[in-house]
Amino acid sequence: MMKIFGKVAAIVAGSALVATAAFAEDRKSYPAPKDHPLSEIISGYEFRTPETRALQDDDFENPAYILLDLGAELWSTADGAAGKSCASCHGDAAESMKGIGASFPKWSKERNKAITVEQQINICREEQMQADTWKWTKDPNMLGMTIFVKNQSRGMPIVLDNSPEMETVRKLGEEVYYTRYGQLDMSCANCHEDYYGNYIRADMLSQGQINGFPTYRLKWNGVGSTHRRFKGCMKNIRANPFKPQGEEFTALEAYMMYRAVGLPIETPSVRN
Partner 1 sequence: MRFAALVLSGVFMASVASAEEIKKVEIVDGAVQASLTGKPGDAVAGAKVFKGRRAGNCLACHGNKDMSGEQFHGETGPIMDGVADRYSTEQLRAIVVNSKKVFGDHTLMPAFYEVDRLSRVAKKFEGKTVLSAQQVEDVVAYLLTLKE
Residue ranges in contact with ligand HEC by CB under 6 A:
6, 8, 11-12, 44, 47, 186, 188, 190-192, 200, 203, 205-206, 208-210, 212, 215, 229-230, 233-234, 236-237, 252, 271
Over the window 13 to 32, marking each residue x when it contacts partner 1 by CB under 8 A and - when it does not, the resulting string is -xxx-xx--x----------
β-pair partners for 31: 40
b (16+ CB within 10 A) / e for 206-223: bbbbbbbbbbbbeeeebb
- Is residue 166 within 8 A of residue 104, CB to CB? The reply is no
Query: How far apart are the C-alpha atoms of 17 and 87, rounded to whole Å?
Result: 55
Residues present in the chain in total:
272
Give yes or no: 233 in active site.
yes
Binding partner of residue 105 among ligand HEC, partner 1, none, CB under 5 to 8 Å per kind?
Answer: none
Identify what 265 binds: ligand HEC, partner 1, none; CB under 5 to 8 Å per kind. none
129 binds partner 1, rule: CB under 8 A: no
To the nearest whole angstrom, how small is the minimum distance from the Cβ of residue 71 to partner 1?
Answer: 25
Distances from the Cα of 19 to the Cαs of 1, 24, 89, 183, 209, in angstroms?
Answer: 12, 11, 53, 25, 21
179 binds, among ligand HEC, partner 1, none (CB under 5 to 8 A by kind): partner 1
Closest approach, Cβ 54 to partner 1, in A, equals: 11
Coil, strand or helix at 205: coil
Binding to partner 1 (CB under 8 A): which residues in 58-87? none
Q: Which amino acids are annotated catalytic? A: 233
